[in-house]
C-alpha cells in the first residue's frame, strides 16, 4: 500500500526519527521492538530471514526494484530531499525499512544444537565492528555467536549495514549471565579459546582443536577481561611478524583478528580433518 508523504515531520514517519541520535534510536527501537534495514539488498535479506515489515520509506525511483518483495507492505514514498532530511544523511541505497524484531534463541538452544564453532563477543560496543565480525563469521562457516550482556546490538542500523545483512543469516543469542557464561559453554562440550594479542600465548594455528570450539573475542582496545582470560581453557594469539613487532605493531584490530581466527576455525571444522 503506497502513501505519499510531503512533510518530513509527518507523524506517520516516527519509526524513522532522528537516525543519527544513537541513544534515542536505541531507546526507541527497543521500546517499539523494531530495527531499520537500509538498502535493497539488506531489506531483501531481512524479509528472507522472516522479519516482518512494519513499513518502508523510499523514493519514487526505488519502488520498482523492491516491488517483488514488498507485497502489501505499507510504503511511504517521499522526495529525495525529504528522504535526506529525515535520514540526516544521503540514502544512496534508496530505501529504509522498519522491521519487527523476532525473539532470539536462548543461549542454551544455541549451545545444545548442532553448532561446532561459536564466537563469543565480550563487551564489543562499536556497532560497525560487531557488524563486520558477523559478516566474517557468516562467510567463514561459524555456526553461531554469543553476545555478552553489554555487547552492541547487531540489529542497530550501522551494524546491519556493515554486515550487509549477515546478521540475519547467522544465529545469535545474548547472555544474561556474564560471570558464569564460560562454565556453561564447557558443560555443553565446548573448548573455550581466548584470543589475545599476547605473543606468549599459543599460536592459533598450532592449537589442537576439539570437535566443539568457542572462540572468545574481547572489547575494542582493552581486549578480554581478566576473568574470561583466566576462565578460558586456553589463550591463543595470531603471531605477528618480527618486522611488525620491531616497528611497534604488536596486534591487529578486533575485526581483522576475528576474520583470521574464523578462517582458522573453518579449516579445522571439516569432520574429515585430523584435528579434533
As a whole number of angstroms, the distance between CA 257 and CA 214 comes to 15
Task: Evaluate whether residue 276 is within a structural domain.
Answer: no
Residue 19: domain span: 2-100
> pLDDT exceeding 70 applies to what percent of the chain?
92
The pLDDT of 132-160, averaged and rounded, is 95
Whether residue 197 sits in one domain with residue 90: no
CATH of the domain at 206: 3.40.1280.10
The answer to whether residue 251 scores a pLDDT higher than 80 is no
Residue 63 has a pLDDT of: 86
Whether residue 254 sits in one domain with residue 179: yes
The pLDDT of 25-52, averaged and rounded, is 92
pTM of the model: 0.88
pLDDT tens-digit series, residues 97-110: 999 999 999 999 99
Task: Evaluate whether residue 274 is within a structural domain.
Answer: no
Angle in degrees, CA 161, 167, 168, rounded to 5: 110
DSSP β-ladder status, 34-38 and 95-100: antiparallel
pLDDT confidence bin for 273, thresholds 50/70/90: very low
CA distances (Å), origin 78, targets 52, 66, 87, 94, 102 = 22, 15, 12, 11, 28
Comparing 262 with 62, which gets the higher pLDDT? 262
pLDDT tens-digit series, residues 173-229: 999 988 888 999 999 999 999 999 999 999 999 999 999 999 999 988 889 999 999
Per-position DSSP letters for 147-212, written without gaps between them: E-TTSPPTTSHHHHHHHTTGGGTS-EEE-S-STTHHHHHHHTTPEEEEE-S-TTSEEGGGS---SS
Residue 90 has a pLDDT of: 67
As a whole number of angstroms, the distance between CA 155 and CA 66 comes to 21
As a whole number of angstroms, the distance between CA 160 and CA 138 comes to 13
Task: Evaluate whether residue 203 is within a structural domain.
Answer: yes
Going by C-alpha positions, the residue among 197, 231, 239 that lies closest to residue 214 is 231
**Structural domain ending residue among the three candidates 100, 123, 158:** 100
Whether residue 66 sits in one domain with residue 162: no
The answer to whether residue 148 scores a pLDDT higher than 90 is yes
Whether residue 136 sits in one domain with residue 68: no
Domain count, the chain: 2
What is the residue-averaged pLDDT of the chain? 89
CATH of the domain at 83: 3.30.1330.30
Amino acid at each position: 500500500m503506497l502513501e505519499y508523504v510531503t512533510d518530513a515531520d509527518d507523524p506517520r514517519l516516527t519509526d524513522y526519527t532522528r537516525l543519527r541520535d544513537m541513544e534515542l534510536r536505541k531507546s526507541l527501537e527497543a521500546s517499539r521492538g523494531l530495527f531499520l534495514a537500509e538498502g535493497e539488498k539488506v531489506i531483501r535479506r531481512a524479509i528472507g530471514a522472516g522479519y516482518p515489515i512494519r513499513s518502508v520509506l523510499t523514493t519514487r525511483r526505488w519502488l520498482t526494484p523492491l516491488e517483488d518483495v514488498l507485497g502489501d507492505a505499507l510504503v511511504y514514498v517521499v522526495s529525495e530531499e525529504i528522504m535526506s532530511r529525515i535520514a540526516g544523511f544521503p540514502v544512496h541505497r534508496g530505501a529504509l525499512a522498519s522491521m519487527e524484531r523476532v525473539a532470539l534463541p536462548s543461549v542454551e538452544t544455541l549451545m545444545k544444537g548442532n553448532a561446532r564453532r561459536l564466537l563469543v563477543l565480550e563487551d564489543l560496543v562499536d556497532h560497525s565492528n560487531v557488524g563486520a565480525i558477523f559478516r566474517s563469521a557468516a562467510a567463514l562457516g561459524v555456526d553461531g555467536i554469543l553476545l555478552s550482556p553489554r555487547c552492541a546490538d547487531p540489529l542497530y542500523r550501522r551494524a546491519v549495514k556493515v554486515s550487509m545483512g549477515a546478521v540475519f543469516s547467522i544465529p545469535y543469542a545474548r547472555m544474561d549471565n556474564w560471570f558464569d557464561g564460560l562454565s556453561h559453554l564447557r558443560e555443553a562440550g565446548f573448548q573455550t579459546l581466548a584470543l589475545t594479542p599476547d605473543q606468549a600465548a599459543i599460536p592459533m594455528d598450532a592449537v589442537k582443536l576439539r570437535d566443539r570450539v568457542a572462540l572468545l573475542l574481547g572489547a575494542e582496545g582493552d581486549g578480554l577481561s581478566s576473568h574470561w582470560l583466566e576462565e578460558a581453557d586456553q589463550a591463543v594469539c595470531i603471531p605477528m611478524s618480527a618486522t611488525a613487532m620491531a616497528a611497534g605493531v604488536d596486534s591487529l584490530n578486533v575485526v581483522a583478528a576475528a576474520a583470521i581466527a574464523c578462517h582458522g576455525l573453518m579449516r579445522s571444522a571439516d569432520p574429515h580433518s585430523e584435528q579434533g
